[in-house]
Structure 1
């Protein structure tokens, strides 16, 4: 009973913390994240979903990813459905990749780069189809995708060990 309470309460609280931290970082460091034409987007919630996918059953993670995708869409984007699709897709892809790869910090970091690249590319194509962006592919790669991947790699290095220990304590 206590174990179920810990996982069903503390895991959503950890995801919520990183969800809010995404927005806080964007507000605090907006000048640094939006320097000239370069745009860096923190995706801490994606980092958390990927890392938790290694420790928490897929069915539970899919539910959390759908719920937080809906909340992310309504809170940050305003178009419902974008992250509701992307977050479960990230959890599913991570689940499939972890079965064939040895989940050490370097592999997890590479999985984060792959998943973030898929998310950012999907978002670029989605917004281009809707007419919300007019930048070309080369500009997207150089000014959006590259800086976003670099920022999130640094964030991954900063939060990996404490987050991993937190998840392991919750699971104990």
Structure 2
């Protein structure tokens, strides 16, 4: 049963991202803040850390390709970045103590890395014209805050679900 739930959650999170992006941009005073939900990559970091790197990379390729086709029409940016983030998260988590809190913090760092790399790619191919300082204050900080709230709310659930699947695999289900 849990075997089906793990990819199903990834699909649900993929379709929830555009729903939550409807809350963005937020205007406070004369400044527009853009919140970018990164639910799928957070979930993939949890999969890479607590469950299976190979599956995380496969899901990363699939959802990165879907994200490229669905959101930006340039295939390759997120198809490359999602599996790379999963791989980096797996390498980093092997070097430190693998606790839920550590993986939550790692997820925030990986969201920052994803946002920075996607900004640099978009800047290189002229998809965006905003400066780095505007990106930092009007997009990166609000994105990190919003995704941190998501991680705090759902990180424990993801960990418990993935641990249950690991136990099922050990039993042979």
Match of 1:37, SS state, is: strand
Unpaired stretches in structure 1, ≥5 consecutive residues: none
Q: Deviation digits for residues 85-119 of structure 1, max 9, x if unmatched?
A: 01101110011011111122332122122211111
Higher RCO, Cα 8 Å, sep 6+? 1
Judged with a 3 Å threshold, the aligned counterparts in structure 2 of structure 1 residues 81 and 34 are, in CA distance, closer, same or farther, namely: farther
* Aligned match for 2:138, one of 138, 143, 146: 143
Q: Does residue 107 of structure 2 align to residue 115 of structure 1?
A: no
Structure 2 residues not aligned, in runs of 5+? 169-173
Offset of residue 6 of structure 1: 4.7
Equivalents in 2 of 1:113, 1:161: separation in Å?
15
Quote the Cα distance in structure 1 between the aligned partners of 2:139 and 2:67: 20
- Root-mean-square deviation (Å): 1.7
TM-score by length of 2: 0.86
Q: What is aligned with 1:56? A: 51
1:81 is aligned, of 70, 76, 79, to: 76
Residue 96 of structure 1: aligned partner: 91
1:34 aligns with 2:40: no
Runs of 4+ in 1 over 6 A off after TM superposition: none
* Matches of 1:120 and 1:61, distance apart in 2: 19
Query: What's the TM-score once normalised by structure 1's chain length?
Result: 0.87
